[in-house]
Amino acid sequence: MITITGAAGFIGSALVARLNAEGFNDLVLVDDFSARPDKERNHADRTCVQRVERKDFAEWLRANENQVQFVFHLGARTDTTEQDRAIFDQLNLHYSQEIWRLCHELGLPLVYASSAATYGGGEHGYSDNHKHVDLLKPLNPYGDSKQAFDRWALSEAEAGRAPYFWAGLKFFNVYGPGEYHKGRMASVVYHAFRQIKATGGMKLFRSHRDDYADGEQLRDFVYVRDVVDVCHWLMHNRKDSGLYNLGSGQARSFLDLTRATFDALDVPHNIGFIDTPADIRDTYQYFTEADLSKLRSIGYAREMTSLEAGVTEYVQSYLSQDRVL
Protein backbone atom coordinates (compact mmCIF):
# COMPACT_ATOMS: atom_id res chain seq x y z
CA MET A 1 0.00 0.00 0.00
CA ILE A 2 1.28 3.47 -0.98
CA THR A 3 0.05 6.67 0.65
CA ILE A 4 0.10 10.07 -1.08
CA THR A 5 -0.67 13.30 0.76
CA GLY A 6 -1.82 16.19 -1.40
CA ALA A 7 -3.45 13.57 -3.63
CA ALA A 8 -6.10 15.99 -4.88
CA GLY A 9 -3.52 18.63 -5.70
CA PHE A 10 -1.47 19.23 -8.82
CA ILE A 11 1.63 17.06 -8.41
CA GLY A 12 -0.01 14.57 -6.05
CA SER A 13 -2.81 13.78 -8.48
CA ALA A 14 -0.33 13.40 -11.34
CA LEU A 15 1.61 10.89 -9.24
CA VAL A 16 -1.58 8.95 -8.46
CA ALA A 17 -2.38 8.79 -12.18
CA ARG A 18 1.15 7.53 -12.94
CA LEU A 19 0.97 4.87 -10.24
CA ASN A 20 -2.42 3.70 -11.50
CA ALA A 21 -0.98 3.48 -15.02
CA GLU A 22 1.84 1.32 -13.64
CA GLY A 23 -0.69 -1.04 -12.03
CA PHE A 24 -0.46 0.34 -8.49
CA ASN A 25 -4.07 0.47 -7.33
CA ASP A 26 -3.49 -0.23 -3.64
CA LEU A 27 -3.26 3.50 -2.93
CA VAL A 28 -4.45 5.65 -0.03
CA LEU A 29 -5.19 9.23 -1.06
CA VAL A 30 -4.77 11.88 1.64
CA ASP A 31 -5.97 15.47 1.37
CA ASP A 32 -8.38 18.00 2.81
CA PHE A 33 -11.07 16.75 0.45
CA SER A 34 -14.02 18.53 2.05
CA ALA A 35 -12.40 21.98 1.86
CA ARG A 36 -11.69 21.97 -1.88
CA PRO A 37 -14.48 20.35 -3.90
CA ASP A 38 -13.10 22.22 -6.93
CA LYS A 39 -10.21 19.72 -7.01
CA GLU A 40 -12.49 16.71 -7.39
CA ARG A 41 -11.61 16.30 -11.08
CA ASN A 42 -8.05 15.52 -10.03
CA HIS A 43 -8.96 12.41 -8.07
CA ALA A 44 -12.56 11.35 -8.75
CA ASP A 45 -11.62 8.79 -11.40
CA ARG A 46 -8.49 7.45 -9.70
CA THR A 47 -8.34 3.88 -8.43
CA CYS A 48 -7.57 3.64 -4.71
CA VAL A 49 -8.52 1.63 -1.65
CA GLN A 50 -9.33 4.61 0.56
CA ARG A 51 -9.43 8.38 0.85
CA VAL A 52 -8.30 9.79 4.19
CA GLU A 53 -8.79 13.35 5.41
CA ARG A 54 -5.53 15.15 6.10
CA LYS A 55 -6.34 15.74 9.76
CA ASP A 56 -6.91 12.00 10.30
CA PHE A 57 -3.82 10.74 8.50
CA ALA A 58 -1.46 10.36 11.45
CA GLU A 59 -3.99 8.27 13.37
CA TRP A 60 -4.77 6.25 10.24
CA LEU A 61 -1.09 5.59 9.58
CA ARG A 62 -0.52 4.26 13.07
CA ALA A 63 -3.50 1.96 12.76
CA ASN A 64 -2.43 0.65 9.34
CA GLU A 65 1.35 0.69 9.55
CA ASN A 66 1.72 -2.98 8.67
CA GLN A 67 0.01 -2.46 5.31
CA VAL A 68 1.96 0.62 4.16
CA GLN A 69 5.11 0.25 2.06
CA PHE A 70 5.81 3.86 1.03
CA VAL A 71 4.79 7.41 1.92
CA PHE A 72 4.76 10.34 -0.52
CA HIS A 73 4.18 13.60 1.34
CA LEU A 74 3.32 16.10 -1.40
CA GLY A 75 0.62 18.10 0.39
CA ALA A 76 1.48 21.68 1.34
CA ARG A 77 0.28 25.26 1.33
CA THR A 78 2.00 26.59 -1.79
CA ASP A 79 0.73 30.18 -2.13
CA THR A 80 3.87 32.31 -2.42
CA THR A 81 1.85 35.49 -1.83
CA GLU A 82 0.43 34.33 1.52
CA GLN A 83 1.99 36.29 4.40
CA ASP A 84 0.43 34.50 7.38
CA ARG A 85 3.35 32.51 8.74
CA ALA A 86 1.13 30.62 11.16
CA ILE A 87 -0.54 28.85 8.22
CA PHE A 88 2.81 27.72 6.86
CA ASP A 89 4.02 26.69 10.31
CA GLN A 90 0.98 24.50 10.74
CA LEU A 91 0.72 22.91 7.28
CA ASN A 92 4.26 22.94 5.88
CA LEU A 93 6.40 22.61 8.99
CA HIS A 94 4.62 20.98 11.95
CA TYR A 95 2.48 18.62 9.87
CA SER A 96 5.54 17.53 7.88
CA GLN A 97 7.46 16.97 11.10
CA GLU A 98 4.67 14.72 12.34
CA ILE A 99 4.78 12.63 9.18
CA TRP A 100 8.59 12.42 9.30
CA ARG A 101 8.55 11.23 12.92
CA LEU A 102 5.94 8.60 12.13
CA CYS A 103 7.90 7.30 9.15
CA HIS A 104 11.02 7.05 11.33
CA GLU A 105 9.14 5.33 14.13
CA LEU A 106 7.25 2.91 11.86
CA GLY A 107 10.15 2.14 9.53
CA LEU A 108 8.58 3.64 6.40
CA PRO A 109 10.40 5.27 3.45
CA LEU A 110 9.43 8.87 2.74
CA VAL A 111 9.61 11.22 -0.24
CA TYR A 112 8.48 14.75 0.53
CA ALA A 113 8.02 17.99 -1.39
CA SER A 114 10.50 20.76 -0.79
CA SER A 115 10.83 23.73 -3.14
CA ALA A 116 13.24 25.82 -5.18
CA ALA A 117 11.75 28.76 -3.27
CA THR A 118 14.32 27.86 -0.59
CA TYR A 119 17.04 29.30 -2.86
CA GLY A 120 15.67 32.83 -2.59
CA GLY A 121 17.38 35.22 -4.98
CA GLY A 122 19.95 32.63 -5.96
CA GLU A 123 22.87 34.52 -4.45
CA HIS A 124 24.29 31.21 -3.22
CA GLY A 125 23.53 29.30 -6.39
CA TYR A 126 21.24 26.33 -6.89
CA SER A 127 23.24 23.43 -5.56
CA ASP A 128 21.42 20.85 -3.42
CA ASN A 129 24.60 20.08 -1.48
CA HIS A 130 23.59 19.78 2.18
CA LYS A 131 26.50 22.00 3.20
CA HIS A 132 24.83 24.95 1.45
CA VAL A 133 21.42 24.68 3.09
CA ASP A 134 22.13 26.95 6.06
CA LEU A 135 23.27 29.73 3.69
CA LEU A 136 19.97 29.97 1.83
CA LYS A 137 17.65 32.95 2.34
CA PRO A 138 14.14 32.45 0.93
CA LEU A 139 12.21 35.52 -0.19
CA ASN A 140 8.77 34.75 1.27
CA PRO A 141 7.06 32.87 4.12
CA TYR A 142 6.33 29.90 1.86
CA GLY A 143 10.02 29.50 1.06
CA ASP A 144 10.90 30.01 4.72
CA SER A 145 8.60 27.14 5.73
CA LYS A 146 10.17 24.77 3.21
CA GLN A 147 13.65 25.84 4.26
CA ALA A 148 12.80 25.37 7.94
CA PHE A 149 11.65 21.81 7.33
CA ASP A 150 14.67 20.94 5.17
CA ARG A 151 17.01 22.18 7.89
CA TRP A 152 15.08 20.31 10.58
CA ALA A 153 15.07 17.10 8.49
CA LEU A 154 18.83 17.29 8.01
CA SER A 155 19.39 17.81 11.72
CA GLU A 156 17.13 14.86 12.53
CA ALA A 157 18.94 12.68 10.00
CA GLU A 158 22.30 13.66 11.48
CA ALA A 159 21.00 12.66 14.91
CA GLY A 160 19.86 9.26 13.60
CA ARG A 161 16.16 10.11 13.78
CA ALA A 162 15.20 9.70 10.13
CA PRO A 163 13.23 7.26 7.98
CA TYR A 164 15.54 4.51 6.73
CA PHE A 165 15.19 6.14 3.29
CA TRP A 166 14.06 9.69 2.65
CA ALA A 167 14.27 12.25 -0.13
CA GLY A 168 13.27 15.91 -0.10
CA LEU A 169 12.58 17.10 -3.64
CA LYS A 170 13.19 20.76 -4.41
CA PHE A 171 10.59 21.34 -7.10
CA PHE A 172 11.35 24.17 -9.51
CA ASN A 173 8.62 25.72 -11.73
CA VAL A 174 6.32 22.77 -12.40
CA TYR A 175 3.67 23.00 -15.12
CA GLY A 176 1.23 20.56 -16.65
CA PRO A 177 -2.24 19.03 -16.40
CA GLY A 178 -4.05 19.10 -13.08
CA GLU A 179 -3.20 22.66 -12.02
CA TYR A 180 -6.53 24.21 -13.03
CA HIS A 181 -7.50 24.86 -9.38
CA LYS A 182 -4.38 26.86 -8.45
CA GLY A 183 -5.67 30.26 -9.53
CA ARG A 184 -2.97 32.91 -9.43
CA MET A 185 -0.37 30.24 -8.58
CA ALA A 186 -0.99 28.21 -11.77
CA SER A 187 1.80 28.15 -14.35
CA VAL A 188 2.33 30.79 -17.00
CA VAL A 189 1.43 28.17 -19.62
CA TYR A 190 -2.00 27.75 -18.06
CA HIS A 191 -2.59 31.52 -17.84
CA ALA A 192 -1.21 32.10 -21.35
CA PHE A 193 -3.56 29.49 -22.81
CA ARG A 194 -6.57 31.12 -21.18
CA GLN A 195 -5.55 34.67 -22.13
CA ILE A 196 -4.72 33.77 -25.70
CA LYS A 197 -8.03 31.95 -26.16
CA ALA A 198 -9.94 34.87 -24.64
CA THR A 199 -8.09 37.86 -26.12
CA GLY A 200 -5.64 36.64 -28.75
CA GLY A 201 -2.69 37.88 -26.70
CA MET A 202 -0.71 37.41 -23.49
CA LYS A 203 0.56 39.93 -20.93
CA LEU A 204 3.79 39.04 -19.14
CA PHE A 205 5.31 40.75 -16.12
CA ARG A 206 7.61 43.61 -17.03
CA SER A 207 11.17 43.46 -15.71
CA HIS A 208 11.93 45.87 -12.89
CA ARG A 209 15.68 45.27 -13.06
CA ASP A 210 18.10 46.87 -15.48
CA ASP A 211 19.97 43.60 -16.09
CA TYR A 212 16.90 41.77 -17.46
CA ALA A 213 14.81 42.84 -20.46
CA ASP A 214 11.04 42.50 -20.29
CA GLY A 215 10.07 38.85 -20.54
CA GLU A 216 13.66 37.67 -20.29
CA GLN A 217 13.37 36.70 -16.65
CA LEU A 218 14.65 33.11 -16.49
CA ARG A 219 13.15 30.15 -14.67
CA ASP A 220 13.66 26.42 -14.65
CA PHE A 221 10.34 25.12 -16.02
CA VAL A 222 9.81 21.39 -15.48
CA TYR A 223 6.97 19.29 -16.88
CA VAL A 224 4.93 17.47 -14.25
CA ARG A 225 5.46 14.17 -16.08
CA ASP A 226 9.19 14.41 -15.31
CA VAL A 227 8.48 15.22 -11.67
CA VAL A 228 6.37 12.11 -11.14
CA ASP A 229 8.87 10.01 -13.06
CA VAL A 230 11.55 10.95 -10.51
CA CYS A 231 9.15 10.18 -7.66
CA HIS A 232 8.38 6.80 -9.20
CA TRP A 233 12.10 6.08 -9.68
CA LEU A 234 12.93 6.94 -6.07
CA MET A 235 10.24 4.57 -4.86
CA HIS A 236 12.19 1.77 -6.50
CA ASN A 237 15.68 3.08 -5.64
CA ARG A 238 15.81 3.63 -1.89
CA LYS A 239 19.48 3.92 -1.03
CA ASP A 240 20.68 7.54 -1.26
CA SER A 241 18.76 9.69 1.21
CA GLY A 242 18.94 13.47 1.01
CA LEU A 243 17.76 16.65 -0.66
CA TYR A 244 17.51 16.68 -4.45
CA ASN A 245 16.80 19.38 -6.99
CA LEU A 246 13.99 18.51 -9.39
CA GLY A 247 13.86 20.75 -12.42
CA SER A 248 14.69 20.57 -16.10
CA GLY A 249 18.26 21.67 -15.49
CA GLN A 250 17.95 24.51 -18.01
CA ALA A 251 16.76 28.06 -17.38
CA ARG A 252 14.42 29.43 -20.04
CA SER A 253 12.74 32.80 -20.39
CA PHE A 254 9.07 33.59 -19.93
CA LEU A 255 9.14 34.74 -23.54
CA ASP A 256 10.30 31.27 -24.58
CA LEU A 257 7.48 29.70 -22.60
CA THR A 258 4.83 32.02 -23.99
CA ARG A 259 6.01 31.70 -27.58
CA ALA A 260 5.84 27.93 -27.21
CA THR A 261 2.23 28.30 -26.05
CA PHE A 262 1.32 30.45 -29.08
CA ASP A 263 3.02 27.92 -31.36
CA ALA A 264 1.14 25.01 -29.76
CA LEU A 265 -2.10 26.85 -30.50
CA ASP A 266 -0.87 27.74 -33.99
CA VAL A 267 -1.70 31.43 -33.62
CA PRO A 268 0.51 34.51 -34.19
CA HIS A 269 2.59 35.78 -31.28
CA ASN A 270 1.00 38.76 -29.53
CA ILE A 271 2.87 39.49 -26.29
CA GLY A 272 2.65 42.60 -24.14
CA PHE A 273 3.84 43.56 -20.67
CA ILE A 274 2.36 44.77 -17.41
CA ASP A 275 3.99 45.80 -14.16
CA THR A 276 4.78 42.99 -11.74
CA PRO A 277 2.20 43.25 -8.92
CA ALA A 278 3.49 45.29 -6.02
CA ASP A 279 2.85 42.55 -3.46
CA ILE A 280 5.39 40.21 -5.10
CA ARG A 281 7.72 42.64 -6.88
CA ASP A 282 10.38 42.78 -4.16
CA THR A 283 10.50 39.00 -3.73
CA TYR A 284 10.30 38.03 -7.41
CA GLN A 285 12.90 35.50 -8.61
CA TYR A 286 14.59 36.60 -11.85
CA PHE A 287 16.64 33.45 -12.35
CA THR A 288 16.40 29.82 -11.27
CA GLU A 289 18.15 26.77 -12.68
CA ALA A 290 18.32 23.35 -11.07
CA ASP A 291 21.72 21.75 -10.68
CA LEU A 292 20.80 18.14 -11.41
CA SER A 293 24.27 16.65 -10.90
CA LYS A 294 23.36 15.11 -7.54
CA LEU A 295 20.23 13.42 -8.91
CA ARG A 296 22.22 12.15 -11.88
CA SER A 297 24.97 10.87 -9.57
CA ILE A 298 22.62 8.38 -7.89
CA GLY A 299 21.57 6.86 -11.19
CA TYR A 300 18.59 8.83 -12.52
CA ALA A 301 19.42 9.00 -16.23
CA ARG A 302 16.19 9.84 -18.05
CA GLU A 303 16.29 13.07 -20.05
CA MET A 304 13.91 15.81 -18.99
CA THR A 305 11.18 16.88 -21.40
CA SER A 306 12.14 19.92 -23.46
CA LEU A 307 10.17 23.10 -22.86
CA GLU A 308 8.69 23.06 -26.36
CA ALA A 309 7.66 19.39 -26.19
CA GLY A 310 6.13 19.75 -22.73
CA VAL A 311 4.17 22.89 -23.57
CA THR A 312 2.92 21.40 -26.84
CA GLU A 313 1.65 18.25 -25.15
CA TYR A 314 0.06 20.18 -22.29
CA VAL A 315 -1.71 22.65 -24.57
CA GLN A 316 -2.81 20.28 -27.33
CA SER A 317 -3.56 17.10 -25.39
CA TYR A 318 -4.92 18.56 -22.15
CA LEU A 319 -5.84 22.26 -22.06
CA SER A 320 -7.39 22.35 -25.54
CA GLN A 321 -9.40 19.23 -24.76
CA ASP A 322 -10.29 20.25 -21.19
CA ARG A 323 -8.63 17.08 -19.88
CA VAL A 324 -7.02 16.76 -16.48
CA LEU A 325 -5.06 13.51 -16.76
Taking only Cα atoms into account, the Rg of the chain, rounded to an integer number of angstroms, comes to 19
Per-residue HEC secondary structure of 201-245 comes to: CEEEECCCCCCCCCCCCEECEEEHHHHHHHHHHHHHCCCCCEEEE
Terminal C-alpha separation, the chain = 22
Distance between CA atoms of 100 and 105, rounded to whole angstroms? Answer: 9
The dihedral built from the CA positions of residue 128, 245, 136 and 147, taken in this order, carries a sign that is negative
Which residues pair with residue 167 across a beta bridge? Answer: 111, 242
SS3 68: coil
Catalytic site residue 142? yes
Which residues pair with residue 28 across a beta bridge? Answer: 3, 50
Cα 145–Cα 282–Cα 170 angle in degrees, nearest 5:
35
- One of 95, 126, 142, 223 is an active-site residue; which one? 142
Query: Which one, of 11, 243, 12, lies nearest residue 150 by Cα?
Result: 243
In the DSSP assignment, the letter for residue 253 is E
Distance between CA atoms of 23 and 47, rounded to whole angstroms? Answer: 10
Catalytic site residue 119? no
- One of 182, 203, 212, 300 is an active-site residue; which one? 182
Query: Which one, of 23, 49, 1, 16, lies nearest residue 231 by Cα?
Result: 16
> What is the four-CA torsion angle of 170, 56, 3, 230, rounded to 10 degrees?
-10
Catalytic residues: 142, 182
